[in-house]
Amino acid sequence: MIIKKKELAAKALKIGKERVKFVRVRLDEIKDAITKQDIRDLVETGAIIIKPVKGRRTNIKRKNRKGQGKVKKKVNKRKREYVEMTRKLRKHVKLLKKQ
């Protein structure tokens, strides 16, 4: 019963279920609440508490967002680098197989 009231409160207040907290002393009033307006009134009176939003700081979010960006190298340039690298690796693999 209380779980459904918590879902109703979250929907009425447009927040997540985890952020809704009921005051245990006033559970009878919360059980009697039927409409969204009843729940809003209970929030104003203090029977339902809304927990603050947890989250990471914005500077950490920005650090995580930083990436390589758009690569503007020519295709042939990248292909040449790849070919040179693979030739070196193949030579190395041949040496290892001989040992």
Map tokens 């650090």 to a residue: 63
Same domain, 77 and 42: no
State the Rg of the chain over Cα: 30
- Is 61 within the bounds of a domain? no
Query: Do residues 50 and 19 touch, judged by C-beta distance below 8 A?
Result: yes
pLDDT at res. 56: 65
Q: Is the dihedral of CA 86, 92, 93, 95 positive or negative?
A: positive
Q: State whether 36 and 75 are in the same domain.
A: no
Whole-model pTM?
0.54
Here the CATH number for the domain that contains residue 40 is 1.10.1650.10
Q: What pLDDT, on the 0 to 100 scale, is given for residue 65?
A: 66
Q: Are residues 73 and 37 in the same domain?
A: no
Domain total for the chain?
2
Mean pLDDT of 11-15: 93
Residues in the chain: 99
Express each pLDDT in 25-79 by its tens digit.
Answer: 999 989 999 999 999 999 999 999 999 988 766 767 777 666 677 767 677 877 8
* 55 within some domain: no
| Structural domain harbouring 38 | 2-50
Burial classification of residue 30, based on how many CB atoms lie within 10 Å of its CB (0-12 exposed, 13-18 middle, 19 or more buried): buried
Give the pLDDT of residue 76.
81
